[in-house]
């Protein structure tokens, strides 16, 4: 349920800001997204928008989760971003879509 809610929230935010989700995978403790957006927007501002708005929507829908999180924050301030250039977009999409198969009940396979 909460996984679907987060997906819906991110989709809504992206729709509002003309961000196209190419691929999205909600993991137990992080999210993988392949997105495209107008290059006039700074990538760091896109991340700030996604994290900030999704946190506000999340805590409005699930206020009880704020007390469960360290410091009451949904997201850490860090993120990883890369451009798709050295590999095809399809390769990146496949990687993202296969992430859940790399996990066993939320834990990396050993």
Residues 41 and 101: their CA atoms lie apart, in Å, by 33
To the query of whether residue 79 is one of the catalytic residues in this protein, the response is: no
Contact 9, 54 (CB under 8 A): yes
Q: Compute φ and ψ for 107, nearest 5 degrees.
A: -115, 140
Lookup result for tokens 């834990």: 107
Question: 2-16 vs 43-61: helix axis angle to the nearest 10?
Answer: 130
Identify the active-site residue in 62, 79, 95, 103.
Answer: 95
Q: Which residues are catalytic?
A: 95
């Amino acid at each position: 349920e909460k996984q679907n809610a987060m997906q819906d929230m991110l989709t809504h935010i992206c729709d509002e800001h003309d961000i196209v989700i190419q691929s999205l995978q909600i993991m137990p403790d992080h999210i993988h997204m392949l997105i495209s957006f107008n290059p006039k927007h700074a990538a760091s501002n896109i991340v700030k928008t996604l994290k900030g708005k999704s946190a506000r929507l999340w805590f409005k829908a699930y206020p009880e989760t704020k007390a469960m999180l360290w410091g009451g924050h949904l997201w850490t301030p860090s993120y990883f971003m890369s451009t798709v250039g050295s590999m095809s977009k399809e390769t990146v999409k496949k990687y993202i879509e296969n992430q859940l198969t790399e996990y066993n009940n939320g834990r990396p396979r050993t």
